[in-house]
Amino acid sequence: MEEEFDDFDDYDYFDEDEDEERLELAQIALDRGESETALDLIEEYLEDHPFDVEALNICAVAATNLDDEIKALALYLKALRLDPKNGAIHHNYGVLLDRLGRRAEAQTHLRKALAYQPDFPEAYVNLGNVLDELGETDEALAMYDEALKRRPDSADAYFNKGHALNRLGSYEGALECFNAALRMEPHEPSCLNGAGYALAGLGRDEEAVRYYSQALARESDNPHFFYNRGLSLMRLGRLDDAVRDFDAALVLEPDFFDALIEKANVLAERGDLDQARQLLLKAEERDPASPEPPFYLALICEREGDHEGALGALEESLARDPDSIHSLNNKGSVLMDMGRLDEALGCFEAILERTDVYPLAHYNRACIFALQGKTAAAVRALTQASRLEPHFLQDAAEDPDFDCIRHRPSFQKLLRSAAREERG
C-alpha cells in the first residue's frame, strides 16, 4: 500500500508540473504574438484551474488581440472579482475599455492600477493617453513624465508625449520627444512622422519632407504619412508633388476627407478650378455637415470673380459652423469687394468681440475706415494690427485701400515711426 501511495504522489507532481508548463507556454506564445496558440493553451489550462487569475489575464489579453472583446471583458471582470486589487488586471481592463471608447471607465481602472502598483510605467502612459483623448492634456503630459521618471528609456512615453505636444502646437518640445524616441528606435515610422509634423509646425518643411519620406520608406501603406508630406510639399510650392501625395493617400483611403479638401485646395492654387470644384462636391458627399467644402468653394468663386457665389458659399459654411472666424473674415472681405462696407465692418467687429488677437480683422477694419475717409479710426485700427503683426504697416504703405488717407499727417506719422523702428 505504501508503494502505491508513492506512485500516486509522483503522478500528482508530474500533473502539476505539466500544468505549469502549459501556463508558461501560453505566456510565451502570447509574447510572440501567437494569440490563437496562446488562447488554445490557456483555455485548456482554465478547464482545470478556472479561478487562476494569471491564466484569466492571459486568456483575456489573447482574446483582445483576436478582437473578441466580449470574451475579454467577461474574463477581466471575473479576474477582478477574484482579485480586486490586482494592478495588472485593472491596467489591461482599462486599456480594453479605452479601445472600446469607454474612456471614463478606462480612466477609473487605470487609476486603480496605479493605486495598487505605483511603479507601473505602462499604466502612466496609457492613463496619459486616455486623459489626452478626454481633453485633459496637461494632466496627460504629467502622466508621461511620471512614466519617464520610472523608465527613462520608454520610447512609448516619449512618442505619446510628443504626439500630445504636437496637438498643443508646442512643436519644439514635441520634436525633442520624437528625437528621444528615435534614438531608441531609429526607424520607427510613427515617430518619424511625428517628428516631421513637429518640423512642419516650426516652418521647417524641407526637413519635414525628409522625415515623412523615411516614414514612408518603412510603412508605404499609411495614407496619413502621404497626406502630411503633401501638406509640406504644398507649402513649399511643389504643387504637382503635393497632388501626387494626396492621390496616394486617397488610393489607400478613398474616403479620406482632409485629403480631398487639400487636393482641391492645391488644384485651385494651380488654376485647375473645375477639377477642384468636382473634388469639393465629392467631399460634400462624404460629410454633408462639414463647413469646409463650401468654405473652399467660396475661394474658387472669388478666383472666378463670382462675389455673389462666394458670399452664398460662405454663408452656408457659417450656417454649419457659426463660430468659424476664418469664414467670417472671408465673408467680410467679399462684402468689401462688393462695396458693402458697413456689412463687412460688422463681420470684422463680430470677430473682435470673440478675440482681439486676430490681426487681420484689425487690418480689415482699418481698410474700411480708410475707404470711408475716417482717418483717425483707420490709424487706430492699423496700429492695433501692426502691434500684433508689424508687416501690416508695410502692407498698408502699398495697399490702394489707404489711398484716400495716404496724405494725412497721422497716417504718414504712423508709417514713419514704423520705418524708424525697422532701421533701429
Ranking 21-30, 98-107, 148-157 by mean pLDDT, the lowest is 21-30
Mean pLDDT, rounded, for 58-72 = 95
pLDDT > 90 in the chain, percent: 89
Q: Three-class SS string for 292-346?
A: HHHHHHHHHHHHCCCHHHHHHHHHHHHHHCCCCHHHHHHHHHHHHHCCCHHHHHH
Please say if the pLDDT value at position 8 is more than 80: no
Mean pLDDT value of segment 67-77: 96
pLDDT at 139 over 80: yes
- How confident is the model at residue 2, as a pLDDT? 43
pLDDT tens per residue across span 316-341: 999 999 999 999 999 999 999 999 99
Residue-level pLDDT at 357? 87
**CA quadruple 311, 316, 319, 320: dihedral, nearest 10:** -140
| Alpha-carbon distances of 72 from 68, 238, 308, 408, rounded to whole Å | 6, 49, 58, 77
pLDDT higher than threshold 70 for residue 423:
no
Residue 424: per-residue pLDDT: 52
State the pLDDT at residue 185: 95
The percentage of residues in the chain with a pLDDT greater than 70, rounded to a whole number, is 94
Which own/partner contact pairs does 99-107 have at CB distance under 8 Å and 24+ positions apart?
99/64, 99/69, 100/69, 103/130, 103/133, 103/134, 104/134, 106/130, 107/131, 107/134
* pLDDT over 70 (residue 392): yes
Section 31-38 average pLDDT: 92
Q: Residue 23 pLDDT > 90, yes or no?
A: no
CA distances from 199 to 70, 137, 142, 177, 215 (A): 42, 21, 23, 12, 14
The 10s digit of each residue's pLDDT in 246-261 is 999 999 999 999 999 9
Residue 233 has pLDDT above 90, yes or no: yes
Indicate the pLDDT class of residue 175, thresholds 50, 70 and 90: very high
All three cell numbers of 384: 492695433
Predicted confidence band of residue 276 (pLDDT cuts 50, 70, 90): very high
pLDDT value of residue 1: 40
What does the DSSP 8-state code read for residue 185?
S
pLDDT digits (tens, 9 = 90+) for 393-403: 999 999 999 99
Whether 236 contacts 206, CB under 8 Å: yes
Is the pLDDT at 418 greater than 70? The verdict is: no
pLDDT tier, 18 (very low <50, low <70, confident <90, very high otherwise): confident
Q: What is the pLDDT of residues 197-222, one digit of tens each?
A: 999 999 999 999 999 999 999 999 99
- For residue 176, pLDDT over 60 is answered with yes
**Structure confidence at residue 7 (pLDDT):** 42
Query: HSE of 363 in the Cβ direction (CA atoms, 13 Å)?
Result: 21
Q: What is the dihedral of CA 420, 388, 381, 315, to 10 degrees?
A: 140
* Per-residue model confidence as pLDDT tens digits over 362-372: 999 999 999 99
Q: What is the pLDDT of residues 96-121, one digit of tens each?
A: 999 999 999 999 999 999 999 999 99
Q: Determine the distance from the C-alpha atom of residue 104 to the mean position of all C-alpha atoms in its chain, rounded to a whole number.
A: 20
**pLDDT value at residue 4:** 42
Task: List, for residues 286-300, the tens digit of each pLDDT value.
Answer: 999 999 999 999 999
Per the document, the length of the chain is 424
Q: Please state, rounded to an integer, the average pLDDT across all residues of the chain.
A: 92
Higher pLDDT, 23 or 63: 63
Give the chain's radius of gyration (CA, Å).
30
Least confident of 30-44, 358-372, 407-421: 407-421
- Given this model, what pLDDT does residue 20 score? 81
